[in-house]
Amino acid sequence: MYDFSRCKLCTEKSGVPTYKLKDSTVYACDSCGFHYINHLDTMPSESPDEADSPLTQKAWDFIEGKLIPNGKQLRKNLRIVQEFSRLSEAQCLDIGAGAGLFSSLLSEEGASVYGIEPQRVFREFAQKKFDIALNAETIDDAFWQKGFADFFDVVTLWDVLEHVNFPTETLKEAYRVIRPGGRLFLDTPCRDSFVYKISEWSYRLSKGTNPLLLGSLYSPKPFRHKQIFSLDQLVQLVESIGYTVVRANYSPLKPQNKIVLVCQKPDGAHNE
């Protein structure tokens, strides 16, 4: 059991339960100011020979219905990747590939694509819809860490960092599989957003009875949001791991309110 008084970002024992929501508590770190909830996911333990496919018609319709709204954002993300990396013949890894749409976009551009998706229902969808085989092994697995060290030209983490149990580890594990000179692209919600700040004020003024959107920004349900970075926290974190930040975007006025980072593993950087 993880001791949530230990900050998930700076690892100091400075985490203080600060916002008590309906089904979780947001901890704020006294040392570094990081915000995270008191919940970790357990990875699904499915055996591949499990008889019943989770991809029912209902699940198929649900996932397919999400592809169109998600597709707009992912096509924008594809253009960001193309600004920095030539995709034809590039080796790409999409971590948190979901239904496989971004992987299929990369593939259309001529890239060799690997994708990681822990939920079997999405992997089966990606296989049937896009003919893309996603991997169940998460990025910490020796399959990637040993088999693909210094390998990828492009690694993407679209909407992933807010979902994983330990974002620092995920960023380090991604670093190891990127080749020197290769790039990491990511987006994640931003705590500098107006919505977040207003929700904090509302929580305090109402003595906890009205947290506005804090309750929907965080959730202990599986694979939901567990932490939300400020732009400065995230930039400092990736730099401490060894990445060079090539671009850091955050626009507080945009409705999506996400951080977009483009990072590079320096030329000549090798794993120990």
The answer to the question of residue 7 lying near Zn ion (CB under 5 A) is yes
Nearer to Zn ion, 14 or 85 (CB): 14
Helical H runs in the chain?
57-84, 101-108, 120-130, 142-145, 167-177, 194-205, 214-217, 231-241
When binding is defined by CB under 5 A, the residue of 5, 18, 28, 32 that contacts Zn ion is: 32
- What number of chain residues touch Zn ion (CB under 5 A)? 7
Residue 34 as a binder of Zn ion (CB under 5 A): the answer is: yes
Residue 160 identity: V
Give SS3 for 206.
coil
CB 35 to Zn ion: min, Å: 10
Cα–Cα distance between 128 and 132 in angstroms, integer? 8
Shortest separation between residue 237's beta carbon and Zn ion, angstroms: 11
- Nearest approach in angstroms of CB 18 to Zn ion is 12
Closer Cβ to Zn ion, 33 or 215, answer by number: 33
Does residue 9 bind Zn ion (CB under 5 A)?
A: yes
Query: C-alpha distances in angstroms, 269 versus 93, 138, 152, 155, 247?
Result: 19, 23, 14, 16, 19
- Is there binding between residue 10 and Zn ion (CB under 5 A)? yes
Minimum CB–partner distance for residue 32 and Zn ion (Å): 3
By CB under 5 A, residue 28 contacts Zn ion: no
First to last CA, the chain: 30
By CB atoms closer than 10 A (0-12, 13-18, 19+), residue 228 is buried
For residues 207-266, which are near Zn ion according to CB under 5 A? none
**In the complex, which residues of this chain contact Zn ion (CB under 5 A)?**
7, 9-10, 29, 31-32, 34
